Chain A
Amino acid sequence: MNDEKTLRRIEAMIEAEARYLAQQKARAPGAPPPRITGRRSFLAAAAAGASLLPTIVRAKAPAGAVERAVPADPTKEQGTPTNDDGGYGSRSQFETETRWRFGTATRESSWTMTPLETGMGVITPSGLHFERHHGGIATIDPSRHSLVVHGMVEQPKKYSMADIRRFPSISRTMFIECSGNGLTEWSKPTLKTVQGTHGLTSTSEWTGVPLALVLKESGLKPGAKWVLAEGADAAVMTRSIPLEKCLDDAFIAYGQNGEAIRPEQGYPIRLVLPGWEGNTHIKWLRRLEVSDVPFMTREETSKYTDLMPNGTARQFTFVMEAKSVITFPSGDMRLPGPGFYEVTGLAWSGRGKITRLEVSADGGKTWADAHLQGPVLPICHTRFRFPWFWDGKPAVLQSRATDETGYVQPTLRQLVDVRGLNGPLGSIYHLNAIQSWAVAGDGRVTNVHA
């Protein structure tokens, strides 16, 4: 990560978040209907003229929705014909949340954030799973794609996508988090919403082939210690993975939430390394090279490394440590008044299961246990809920996760005490600190450091 460039991007990110918020507010119930422009407005006006009724037609359906006329009383006329969606459904036109893009200079090397504030349960809809691309989204015909395994193996192999699907398979519901999640928040509260501060984590059910089985087909030579994974995108993205992880729980995924993985998630196949930073889960996977040494690729030297104040950088910091965040109430929301609220959010750890989640309403002075929604899965978003009676006085809401290793999510101060602040973005990666949301007397919720 080039810090100066990223700093300039933060301004763009603040603007991107503001644009998204303005758009969402314009679409909120009770907001005036958007002005109709262009060709659609002509058609709408023609339709309105024909029926002489003030038909409300929105300028544009939200992404993933189909715009349909809304009858005054849905019990008085037939609804949309069955299978009118072409056989692949869409969401309601009244649901508007989307990923939004970090304001990077190019749209090919960029990322989008998951709207955690509207999420329910633990699964992220495939179309809202965060993205990080280094050379755009590759479009790959699976009939022309293959996976090659070579290097320090007894038998180099090449697999078609049909071959890959013949292997014994597994499914695993787990989170993937970008190690850059929260990079704007090291030195001061910067983005307003939980989508901006924490939206680079998502959970899907992934289906695929254990990597150990694929490597077994080739047989490893003595001295093998690392495996290079390479993508078939324009970045030809590469990361070196310790062999131990490859033989443990790594897998090659072709399924996501019950269907083929999305193009932006690496269609037709991606590497999945449970609990490890997202950039190592190489998408559009085309090659695995077994080696005795790491390859020292650009991504694992100049980019995804964590610079400390003493000038040394931590390298191969793979694990995503325990973290949690309250998604309701969260930044830029407004509570209508004192009374009962169900505080809810997500907790996760790359080292296993979440065993405890505590909530504080006084900035960390006192804590109380929240309810964890079961089943609690290892290396998976875990939904927590906490009943809260707000007395209408200013409050600071926090959540603190503990995982099965006994690790307790740290405060930002604890993290900065150890890792320092080498520039406004600190060490950039692996910010897993407790998040604070201030609730003001008027119910407005803001991102604060407390």
Chain B
Amino acid sequence: MSTLNRTTALAAALALVAGCAAHRSAEAPQPAYSGSKLGLGSTPTSAELAHYFSYPADGRGLPPGSGSYAQGQKVYQAKCMACHGEKLEGTKIGDKLIGGRGTLVNNSPAKPPVKTVESYWPYASTLFDYVKRSMPFNAPGSLSDDEVYALAAYILGEANIVPKGQTMNAAALASVQMPNRNGFVSPDPRPDVH
């Protein structure tokens, strides 16, 4: 980055801080010092940073590797089925993963909407990110990237979102169009009651 860019960035950041300070609640506590940088902390090594991951909707940063529907089915049966059910229908412990399309438009208190990966989740990247970081519940973070790709191929295949022959990898996952891709609205419209 050029010096000019760096200066611009700093100015932009300072402007943001100043802009926020203007509408900040007057009684929010302020630190006794907020001057120049303090020089605290150390620089993490690239090996340390490589330990972390998070994949936004465009799939940037998704790791190498791949997995098929058939491989995913095996992983699912061994590590997921106990909680999510033989047919991905969910159990007392694990969420239902497929089905529910067409149930989101509803204004009846008697009829619950069915929110699943298939019907509700807007991005396939989220499926990869979440399964890799938190699943399975009894051994979180234990799956290999290939296993997670395979599970994505299996779950999205069972959900009829991608063909069952589709192998999942970084590019394929990022290009999946989820059924509820356009189902979310922001920014927050509240206050909505006056």
Contact = CB atoms under 8 A, between A and B. Distances in A.
Interface in B126-162: 126, 129-130, 133-134, 137, 140-141
A312 B185 contact: yes
A426 B44 CA distance: 45
Contact of B188 (A186, A295, A297, A318): A318
Given A213-B31, A302-B115, A316-B188, A291 B56 contact: yes
B9 A415 contact: no
Contacts of A393: none
Contact of A294 (B8, B56, B110): B56
B3 interface: no
A20 interface: no
A209 B33 CA distance: 11
A217 interface: yes
A298 B126 contact: yes
A168 B33 contact: yes
A394 interface: no
Chain B at the A interface: mostly helix, strand, loop or mixed?
A: loop
Interface stretch (A52-60, A112-120, A243-251, A339-347): A243-251
B24 A148 contact: no
Interface string B1-29: 10001101110110011001100110111
A352 interface: yes
Given A7-B112, A295-B55, A352-B25, A301 B122 contact: yes
Interface in B82-103: 90, 92-93, 95-96
Contacts of A131: none
Interface in B112-128: 112-117, 120-123, 125-126
Contacts of A212: 17, 34
Contact of B112 (A3, A154, A234): A3
Nearest to A234: B140
A215 to B, nearest CB: 8
A319 B188 contact: yes
A220 B9 contact: yes
B9 A222 contact: yes
Interface in A68-104: none
Q: Which residue among A160, A247, A418 has the maximum number of chain B CB atoms within 10 Å of its CB?
A: A247
A301 B129 CA distance: 12
Interface in A273-312: 274, 287, 289, 291, 293-298, 301-302, 305, 307, 309-312
Contacts of A106: 93, 137
Interface stretch (B35-43, B62-70, B166-174): B35-43
Given A418-B193, A421-B109, A169 B37 contact: no
A217 B34 CA distance: 11
Given A217-B37, A295-B55, A313-B185, A420 B107 contact: yes
Interface residues of B, number: 81
B134 to A, nearest CB: 5
A63 interface: no
A220 B40 contact: no
A445 B42 CA distance: 58
B113 A423 contact: yes
Contacts of A216: 13, 17, 37
B78 interface: no
Given A319-B188, A423-B108, A2 B44 contact: no
Interface of B: 1, 5-6, 8-10, 12-13, 16-17, 20-21, 24-25, 27-34, 37-44, 48-49, 52, 54-58, 90, 92-93, 95-96, 104-117, 120-123, 125-126, 129-130, 133-134, 137, 140-141, 183-193
Given A2-B116, A312-B184, 16 more contacts: A150-B49, A157-B42, A158-B42, A159-B42, A168-B32, A222-B9, A235-B133, A248-B24, A249-B24, A291-B56, A296-B57, A297-B130, A305-B184, A310-B105, A313-B183, A420-B107
23 contacts: A156-B43, A156-B44, A209-B31, A216-B17, A217-B40, A219-B9, A224-B13, A243-B16, A249-B24, A249-B25, A287-B52, A293-B57, A297-B129, A298-B130, A298-B134, A301-B184, A302-B117, A309-B106, A310-B105, A312-B184, A318-B188, A422-B104, A424-B110
